[in-house]
Amino acid sequence: MKDSKLSFETLALKSTEPFAGEVSPVSTPLYFSTTYHRNKDGSYDSGFVYSRTSNPNRLVLEKACAKLEGGHRGFAFASGMAGIEAVLKTLQTGEHIIIPDDAYFAVFKLIKEVFNRWGLSYTQVDMTELEQVENAINEKTKMIWLESPSNPMLKITDINAVTKIARDNNILVAVDNTWPTPVVQNPIKMGADIVVHSTTKYFGGHSDVLGGVVVINKNDKLEKHLEDIQNLGGGVLSPFDSWLTARGLQTLFLRVKAQSENAFKLAEFLNENSNIEKVFYPGLPSHKGHEVVKKQMHNGFGAMLSVTVKGGEQKAIEISNKLQLFTTATSLGGVESLIEHRKSVEGPESNTPDNLLRISVGLENIDDLIFDWQKALE
Protein backbone atom coordinates (compact mmCIF):
# COMPACT_ATOMS: atom_id res chain seq x y z
CA MET A 1 0.00 0.00 0.00
CA LYS A 2 1.24 3.54 -0.80
CA ASP A 3 2.18 5.68 2.21
CA SER A 4 -0.07 8.47 0.93
CA LYS A 5 -3.05 6.19 1.41
CA LEU A 6 -2.27 5.49 5.06
CA SER A 7 -3.57 7.47 7.99
CA PHE A 8 -1.37 9.07 10.65
CA GLU A 9 -1.90 6.30 13.22
CA THR A 10 -0.92 3.56 10.80
CA LEU A 11 2.05 5.53 9.42
CA ALA A 12 3.36 6.08 12.93
CA LEU A 13 3.64 2.31 13.25
CA LYS A 14 4.77 1.44 9.71
CA SER A 15 7.45 4.15 9.59
CA THR A 16 9.20 2.82 12.70
CA GLU A 17 9.79 -0.67 11.34
CA PRO A 18 13.41 -1.88 11.46
CA PHE A 19 15.96 -0.99 8.77
CA ALA A 20 15.36 -3.13 5.73
CA GLY A 21 18.82 -2.44 4.27
CA GLU A 22 22.17 -3.87 5.25
CA VAL A 23 23.39 -2.69 8.63
CA SER A 24 26.58 -4.22 9.94
CA PRO A 25 27.13 -3.09 13.48
CA VAL A 26 30.35 -4.05 15.27
CA SER A 27 28.73 -4.02 18.69
CA THR A 28 25.55 -6.03 19.26
CA PRO A 29 22.54 -3.69 19.15
CA LEU A 30 19.79 -3.92 21.71
CA TYR A 31 16.77 -5.98 20.65
CA PHE A 32 13.76 -4.94 22.66
CA SER A 33 11.20 -6.57 20.37
CA THR A 34 9.12 -9.11 22.27
CA THR A 35 7.91 -10.81 19.09
CA TYR A 36 9.23 -11.71 15.61
CA HIS A 37 7.95 -12.02 12.02
CA ARG A 38 6.43 -15.33 11.17
CA ASN A 39 6.47 -16.79 7.63
CA LYS A 40 3.31 -17.82 5.81
CA ASP A 41 4.09 -21.48 6.45
CA GLY A 42 4.36 -20.76 10.17
CA SER A 43 8.17 -20.95 10.34
CA TYR A 44 10.52 -18.26 11.71
CA ASP A 45 13.57 -17.29 9.62
CA SER A 46 15.60 -16.06 12.57
CA GLY A 47 14.61 -18.80 15.00
CA PHE A 48 13.32 -16.11 17.37
CA VAL A 49 9.62 -16.22 18.24
CA TYR A 50 8.90 -14.49 21.52
CA SER A 51 11.30 -12.95 24.01
CA ARG A 52 10.44 -15.08 27.04
CA THR A 53 11.65 -18.04 24.96
CA SER A 54 14.71 -16.29 23.54
CA ASN A 55 16.14 -12.93 22.66
CA PRO A 56 19.29 -12.07 20.68
CA ASN A 57 20.94 -10.13 23.52
CA ARG A 58 20.25 -12.92 25.99
CA LEU A 59 21.50 -15.53 23.52
CA VAL A 60 24.77 -13.65 22.99
CA LEU A 61 25.35 -13.63 26.73
CA GLU A 62 24.29 -17.25 27.25
CA LYS A 63 26.60 -18.47 24.50
CA ALA A 64 29.52 -16.40 25.79
CA CYS A 65 29.09 -17.69 29.35
CA ALA A 66 28.90 -21.32 28.16
CA LYS A 67 32.15 -20.82 26.22
CA LEU A 68 33.99 -19.08 29.05
CA GLU A 69 33.04 -21.83 31.51
CA GLY A 70 33.84 -24.62 29.02
CA GLY A 71 30.22 -25.80 29.20
CA HIS A 72 27.62 -26.94 26.70
CA ARG A 73 24.86 -24.38 27.22
CA GLY A 74 24.04 -21.27 29.26
CA PHE A 75 20.74 -19.96 30.61
CA ALA A 76 20.39 -16.35 31.77
CA PHE A 77 17.98 -15.37 34.54
CA ALA A 78 16.73 -12.16 36.12
CA SER A 79 19.05 -12.57 39.12
CA GLY A 80 21.62 -14.95 40.54
CA MET A 81 18.97 -16.29 42.90
CA ALA A 82 16.54 -16.89 40.02
CA GLY A 83 19.25 -18.98 38.33
CA ILE A 84 19.92 -20.90 41.54
CA GLU A 85 16.18 -21.44 42.04
CA ALA A 86 15.98 -22.85 38.50
CA VAL A 87 18.76 -25.35 39.25
CA LEU A 88 17.04 -26.43 42.48
CA LYS A 89 13.76 -26.85 40.57
CA THR A 90 15.39 -29.58 38.45
CA LEU A 91 15.25 -31.69 41.63
CA GLN A 92 12.01 -33.26 42.75
CA THR A 93 10.01 -33.96 45.87
CA GLY A 94 11.60 -36.60 48.06
CA GLU A 95 15.11 -35.98 46.80
CA HIS A 96 18.06 -34.82 48.90
CA ILE A 97 20.78 -32.21 48.43
CA ILE A 98 24.07 -31.70 50.27
CA ILE A 99 25.02 -28.07 50.89
CA PRO A 100 27.97 -26.39 52.60
CA ASP A 101 27.49 -25.26 56.21
CA ASP A 102 28.42 -21.74 55.10
CA ALA A 103 26.50 -21.62 51.80
CA TYR A 104 25.62 -18.15 50.50
CA PHE A 105 23.01 -17.01 53.00
CA ALA A 106 20.12 -16.56 50.55
CA VAL A 107 20.79 -20.01 49.03
CA PHE A 108 20.58 -21.66 52.44
CA LYS A 109 17.37 -19.76 53.22
CA LEU A 110 15.83 -20.61 49.83
CA ILE A 111 16.41 -24.31 50.45
CA LYS A 112 15.30 -24.14 54.08
CA GLU A 113 12.25 -21.89 53.69
CA VAL A 114 10.96 -22.73 50.20
CA PHE A 115 12.27 -26.01 48.77
CA ASN A 116 12.05 -27.86 52.06
CA ARG A 117 8.28 -27.19 52.05
CA TRP A 118 8.14 -28.90 48.64
CA GLY A 119 9.80 -31.96 50.08
CA LEU A 120 13.46 -31.42 49.22
CA SER A 121 15.59 -32.50 52.17
CA TYR A 122 19.10 -31.21 52.77
CA THR A 123 22.19 -31.85 54.87
CA GLN A 124 24.73 -29.18 55.69
CA VAL A 125 28.35 -30.26 55.87
CA ASP A 126 31.77 -28.71 56.16
CA MET A 127 32.64 -29.41 52.54
CA THR A 128 36.35 -28.94 53.16
CA GLU A 129 36.15 -32.29 55.01
CA LEU A 130 35.57 -34.90 52.29
CA GLU A 131 34.46 -37.63 54.68
CA GLN A 132 31.61 -35.38 55.83
CA VAL A 133 30.43 -35.20 52.21
CA GLU A 134 30.65 -38.98 51.83
CA ASN A 135 28.82 -39.61 55.10
CA ALA A 136 25.96 -37.27 54.13
CA ILE A 137 25.13 -39.21 50.96
CA ASN A 138 22.00 -41.35 51.06
CA GLU A 139 20.00 -43.14 48.33
CA LYS A 140 17.92 -39.97 47.72
CA THR A 141 20.91 -37.66 47.25
CA LYS A 142 20.84 -36.15 43.75
CA MET A 143 22.93 -33.01 44.03
CA ILE A 144 25.91 -31.56 45.86
CA TRP A 145 25.96 -27.77 46.07
CA LEU A 146 29.44 -26.32 46.28
CA GLU A 147 30.93 -22.86 46.81
CA SER A 148 34.65 -22.31 46.75
CA PRO A 149 35.87 -19.91 48.08
CA SER A 150 32.91 -19.76 50.45
CA ASN A 151 31.12 -16.67 51.68
CA PRO A 152 32.24 -15.00 53.92
CA MET A 153 34.84 -17.38 55.43
CA LEU A 154 36.72 -18.09 52.14
CA LYS A 155 36.82 -21.80 52.89
CA ILE A 156 38.26 -23.87 50.04
CA THR A 157 36.67 -27.07 48.79
CA ASP A 158 38.63 -29.51 46.64
CA ILE A 159 36.37 -29.46 43.57
CA ASN A 160 38.08 -32.40 41.83
CA ALA A 161 37.71 -34.55 44.92
CA VAL A 162 34.02 -33.71 45.43
CA THR A 163 33.11 -34.29 41.79
CA LYS A 164 34.84 -37.68 41.97
CA ILE A 165 32.77 -38.69 45.02
CA ALA A 166 29.64 -37.45 43.26
CA ARG A 167 30.36 -39.34 40.04
CA ASP A 168 30.92 -42.57 41.95
CA ASN A 169 27.44 -42.11 43.46
CA ASN A 170 25.58 -40.80 40.37
CA ILE A 171 25.08 -37.36 41.92
CA LEU A 172 25.24 -34.03 40.09
CA VAL A 173 27.57 -31.29 41.31
CA ALA A 174 26.54 -27.63 41.07
CA VAL A 175 29.16 -24.98 41.78
CA ASP A 176 28.41 -21.34 42.58
CA ASN A 177 31.36 -19.78 40.74
CA THR A 178 30.34 -16.16 41.36
CA TRP A 179 33.34 -15.22 43.49
CA PRO A 180 36.23 -16.70 41.48
CA THR A 181 34.61 -16.14 38.03
CA PRO A 182 35.73 -18.27 35.05
CA VAL A 183 38.85 -16.11 34.83
CA VAL A 184 40.13 -17.76 37.99
CA GLN A 185 38.31 -21.11 38.24
CA ASN A 186 36.53 -23.48 35.80
CA PRO A 187 34.51 -26.07 37.74
CA ILE A 188 33.10 -27.81 34.63
CA LYS A 189 36.66 -28.62 33.56
CA MET A 190 37.05 -30.21 37.00
CA GLY A 191 34.05 -32.47 36.54
CA ALA A 192 31.17 -30.29 37.77
CA ASP A 193 27.84 -30.64 35.93
CA ILE A 194 26.46 -27.17 36.63
CA VAL A 195 27.97 -23.75 37.27
CA VAL A 196 25.93 -20.80 38.49
CA HIS A 197 26.83 -17.12 38.59
CA SER A 198 25.33 -14.07 40.08
CA THR A 199 26.30 -11.90 37.10
CA THR A 200 25.30 -8.97 39.31
CA LYS A 201 28.84 -9.21 40.64
CA TYR A 202 31.93 -9.56 38.40
CA PHE A 203 30.25 -10.17 35.02
CA GLY A 204 28.27 -6.94 35.15
CA GLY A 205 31.19 -5.51 37.07
CA HIS A 206 29.83 -2.01 37.63
CA SER A 207 27.21 -2.51 40.36
CA ASP A 208 24.41 -1.47 38.03
CA VAL A 209 22.77 -4.63 36.71
CA LEU A 210 21.20 -7.64 38.44
CA GLY A 211 21.40 -11.02 36.74
CA GLY A 212 22.26 -14.70 36.89
CA VAL A 213 23.59 -17.36 34.56
CA VAL A 214 23.49 -21.15 34.74
CA VAL A 215 25.96 -23.10 32.58
CA ILE A 216 25.67 -26.87 32.21
CA ASN A 217 27.86 -29.58 30.83
CA LYS A 218 26.30 -31.82 28.14
CA ASN A 219 23.33 -33.56 29.78
CA ASP A 220 20.13 -33.84 27.71
CA LYS A 221 17.76 -34.37 30.64
CA LEU A 222 19.16 -31.45 32.63
CA GLU A 223 19.14 -29.23 29.54
CA LYS A 224 15.47 -30.00 28.85
CA HIS A 225 14.54 -29.34 32.49
CA LEU A 226 16.32 -25.99 32.56
CA GLU A 227 14.93 -24.98 29.18
CA ASP A 228 11.39 -25.64 30.47
CA ILE A 229 11.99 -23.89 33.78
CA GLN A 230 13.47 -20.83 32.06
CA ASN A 231 10.92 -20.60 29.26
CA LEU A 232 7.79 -21.62 31.18
CA GLY A 233 8.75 -20.07 34.52
CA GLY A 234 9.77 -16.91 32.70
CA GLY A 235 12.30 -15.47 35.15
CA VAL A 236 14.51 -14.40 32.24
CA LEU A 237 17.15 -11.68 32.01
CA SER A 238 15.79 -8.66 30.11
CA PRO A 239 17.34 -7.51 26.80
CA PHE A 240 18.86 -4.37 28.34
CA ASP A 241 20.27 -6.26 31.33
CA SER A 242 21.65 -8.93 28.99
CA TRP A 243 23.26 -6.20 26.89
CA LEU A 244 24.85 -4.53 29.92
CA THR A 245 26.10 -7.85 31.26
CA ALA A 246 27.59 -8.88 27.90
CA ARG A 247 29.31 -5.50 27.77
CA GLY A 248 30.75 -6.13 31.24
CA LEU A 249 31.93 -9.56 30.19
CA GLN A 250 34.18 -8.03 27.55
CA THR A 251 36.44 -6.57 30.26
CA LEU A 252 35.94 -9.35 32.82
CA PHE A 253 39.41 -10.82 32.37
CA LEU A 254 41.30 -7.58 32.88
CA ARG A 255 39.17 -6.45 35.80
CA VAL A 256 39.32 -9.73 37.70
CA LYS A 257 43.06 -10.08 37.15
CA ALA A 258 43.79 -6.55 38.36
CA GLN A 259 41.34 -6.76 41.26
CA SER A 260 42.84 -10.12 42.35
CA GLU A 261 46.32 -8.59 42.32
CA ASN A 262 45.07 -5.75 44.49
CA ALA A 263 43.35 -8.19 46.86
CA PHE A 264 46.54 -10.24 47.18
CA LYS A 265 48.58 -7.19 48.16
CA LEU A 266 45.94 -5.94 50.58
CA ALA A 267 45.70 -9.40 52.18
CA GLU A 268 49.49 -9.47 52.66
CA PHE A 269 49.42 -6.01 54.25
CA LEU A 270 46.53 -6.81 56.61
CA ASN A 271 48.11 -10.13 57.54
CA GLU A 272 51.05 -8.22 59.04
CA ASN A 273 48.94 -5.75 61.02
CA SER A 274 48.68 -6.24 64.77
CA ASN A 275 45.10 -4.89 64.97
CA ILE A 276 43.86 -7.62 62.65
CA GLU A 277 43.09 -10.95 64.28
CA LYS A 278 42.99 -13.05 61.11
CA VAL A 279 42.92 -12.61 57.33
CA PHE A 280 40.82 -15.04 55.30
CA TYR A 281 42.31 -15.12 51.80
CA PRO A 282 43.22 -18.32 49.93
CA GLY A 283 46.22 -16.68 48.27
CA LEU A 284 48.06 -16.53 51.61
CA PRO A 285 50.36 -19.54 52.15
CA SER A 286 49.04 -19.75 55.73
CA HIS A 287 45.46 -20.38 54.46
CA LYS A 288 44.28 -23.92 55.11
CA GLY A 289 43.16 -24.34 51.49
CA HIS A 290 46.24 -22.81 49.87
CA GLU A 291 47.62 -26.07 48.42
CA VAL A 292 44.21 -26.91 46.90
CA VAL A 293 43.67 -23.46 45.36
CA LYS A 294 47.08 -23.54 43.79
CA LYS A 295 45.74 -26.51 41.78
CA GLN A 296 42.23 -25.25 41.05
CA MET A 297 42.63 -21.48 40.60
CA HIS A 298 44.64 -19.58 38.02
CA ASN A 299 45.21 -15.90 37.20
CA GLY A 300 45.25 -15.09 40.90
CA PHE A 301 43.13 -16.06 43.90
CA GLY A 302 40.11 -13.81 43.43
CA ALA A 303 39.38 -10.33 44.73
CA MET A 304 37.37 -11.16 47.85
CA LEU A 305 38.73 -11.39 51.37
CA SER A 306 37.51 -11.21 54.93
CA VAL A 307 39.23 -10.11 58.11
CA THR A 308 38.41 -10.45 61.77
CA VAL A 309 39.36 -7.44 63.83
CA LYS A 310 40.87 -7.50 67.33
CA GLY A 311 38.61 -5.82 69.87
CA GLY A 312 35.26 -7.27 68.76
CA GLU A 313 32.22 -6.16 66.83
CA GLN A 314 32.22 -2.45 67.73
CA LYS A 315 35.89 -2.10 66.80
CA ALA A 316 35.23 -3.82 63.46
CA ILE A 317 32.34 -1.47 62.63
CA GLU A 318 34.40 1.54 63.76
CA ILE A 319 37.26 0.62 61.42
CA SER A 320 34.96 0.02 58.45
CA ASN A 321 33.48 3.47 59.00
CA LYS A 322 36.92 5.09 59.12
CA LEU A 323 37.86 3.78 55.69
CA GLN A 324 37.33 6.39 53.01
CA LEU A 325 38.03 4.43 49.84
CA PHE A 326 35.91 1.40 50.77
CA THR A 327 32.21 2.15 50.51
CA THR A 328 30.13 0.57 53.23
CA ALA A 329 27.64 -1.46 51.21
CA THR A 330 26.72 -5.05 50.56
CA SER A 331 27.42 -6.84 47.25
CA LEU A 332 30.75 -7.32 45.51
CA GLY A 333 32.53 -7.60 42.20
CA GLY A 334 32.18 -4.03 41.00
CA VAL A 335 35.04 -1.77 39.96
CA GLU A 336 34.82 0.09 43.28
CA SER A 337 35.99 -1.33 46.63
CA LEU A 338 33.24 -2.22 49.11
CA ILE A 339 33.26 -3.30 52.73
CA GLU A 340 30.55 -4.74 54.93
CA HIS A 341 30.02 -5.97 58.44
CA ARG A 342 28.67 -9.29 57.23
CA LYS A 343 26.76 -10.33 60.36
CA SER A 344 24.61 -7.16 60.22
CA VAL A 345 23.67 -8.04 56.64
CA GLU A 346 22.89 -11.70 57.36
CA GLY A 347 20.84 -11.00 60.49
CA PRO A 348 20.37 -12.87 63.77
CA GLU A 349 20.46 -16.39 62.21
CA SER A 350 23.99 -15.77 60.89
CA ASN A 351 26.94 -17.90 62.04
CA THR A 352 29.46 -15.30 60.85
CA PRO A 353 31.86 -14.01 63.56
CA ASP A 354 30.65 -10.63 64.79
CA ASN A 355 34.06 -9.01 64.33
CA LEU A 356 34.27 -10.01 60.64
CA LEU A 357 34.48 -7.53 57.78
CA ARG A 358 34.06 -8.72 54.20
CA ILE A 359 35.97 -6.81 51.54
CA SER A 360 35.42 -6.64 47.80
CA VAL A 361 38.60 -5.18 46.35
CA GLY A 362 38.16 -2.86 43.39
CA LEU A 363 40.31 -1.30 40.70
CA GLU A 364 41.63 1.68 42.67
CA ASN A 365 45.39 2.07 43.00
CA ILE A 366 46.59 -0.47 45.57
CA ASP A 367 48.89 2.01 47.35
CA ASP A 368 45.90 4.26 48.01
CA LEU A 369 43.85 1.32 49.30
CA ILE A 370 46.63 0.19 51.65
CA PHE A 371 47.18 3.76 52.89
CA ASP A 372 43.46 4.01 53.66
CA TRP A 373 43.66 0.87 55.85
CA GLN A 374 46.88 2.08 57.47
CA LYS A 375 45.09 5.24 58.64
CA ALA A 376 41.94 3.42 59.74
CA LEU A 377 43.92 0.92 61.82
CA GLU A 378 46.13 3.49 63.57
Q: Which positions from 86 through 105 interact with ligand PLP, judged by CB under 6 A?
A: 104
Q: Name the active-site residue from 201, 342, 343, 358.
A: 201
Taking the C-alpha atoms of residue 233 and residue 77, their distance in angstroms, rounded to an integer, is 10
- Over the range 353-372, which residues count as b (16 or more CB within 10 Å of their CB) and which as e? bebbbbbbbbbbebeebbeb
Binding mask 266-305 for ligand PLP (x = CB under 6 A): ----------------------------------------
277, 309 in Cβ contact below 8 A? yes
Minimum separation from the CB atom of position 267 to ligand PLP (A): 19
> What does the DSSP assignment read for 209-225?
---EEEEE-S-HHHHHH
Helix H segments across 74-149?
80-89, 105-109, 130-136
Confirm if 151 and 180 have CB atoms less than 8 A apart.
no
Q: Given 102, 158, 176, 193, which residue is catalytic?
A: 176
Q: Is 76 one of the binding residues for ligand PLP (CB under 6 A)?
A: no
Q: Which helix (H) or strand (E) holds 257?
A: helix 252-271
Of 36, 104, 202, 281, catalytic: 104
Instruction: Based on the shown chain and the rule CB under 6 A, indicate whether residue 75 belongs to the binding site for ligand PLP.
Output: no
Q: Which is nearer to ligand PLP, 142 or 358 (CB)?
A: 358
CB nearer to ligand PLP: pick between 163 and 200: 200
Q: Is 225 in the site for ligand PLP (CB under 6 A)?
A: no
* Interaction of residue 80 with ligand PLP, rule CB under 6 A: yes
Asked whether the beta carbons of 64 and 252 are under 8 A apart, the reply is: no
Number of chain positions touching ligand PLP (CB under 6 A): 14
Active site annotation includes 52 = yes
Q: Give me the least distance between CB of 167 and ligand PLP, in Å please.
A: 24
Q: How far apart are CA 159 and CA 145, in angstroms?
A: 11
**Known catalytic residue at 358:** no
Q: Cβ atoms within 10 A of the Cβ of 34, count?
A: 10
| x/- letters, 149..168, toward ligand PLP (CB under 6 A) | --x-----------------
Under the binding rule (CB under 6 A), the answer on residue 207 touching ligand PLP is: no
Among 71, 74, 205, 212, binds ligand PLP (CB under 6 A): 212
Pattern 103-142, ligand PLP, x by CB under 6 A: -x-x------------------------------------
Pairing type for strands 338-341 and 356-360 reads antiparallel
Among 201, 287, 342, 358, binds ligand PLP (CB under 6 A): 201
Rank residues 175 and 279 by Cβ distance to ligand PLP and give the closer one: 175
CA distance 354 to 317: 10
Q: Residue type at 191?
A: G
Pick the closer one to ligand PLP by CB: 200 or 352.
200
- Among 53-61, 125-133, 175-183, 310-318, the segment contacting ligand PLP (CB under 6 A): 175-183
38 carries an active-site annotation = no
C-alpha span between 183 and 339 (Å, rounded): 23
| Secondary structure (3-state) at 199 | coil
Strand runs labelled E in 134-266 = 141-147, 172-176, 194-198, 212-216
> Which residues of this chain interact with ligand PLP, rule CB under 6 A?
79-81, 104, 106, 151, 176, 178-179, 198, 200-201, 210, 212
Q: Active-site residues: which are they?
A: 52, 104, 176, 201
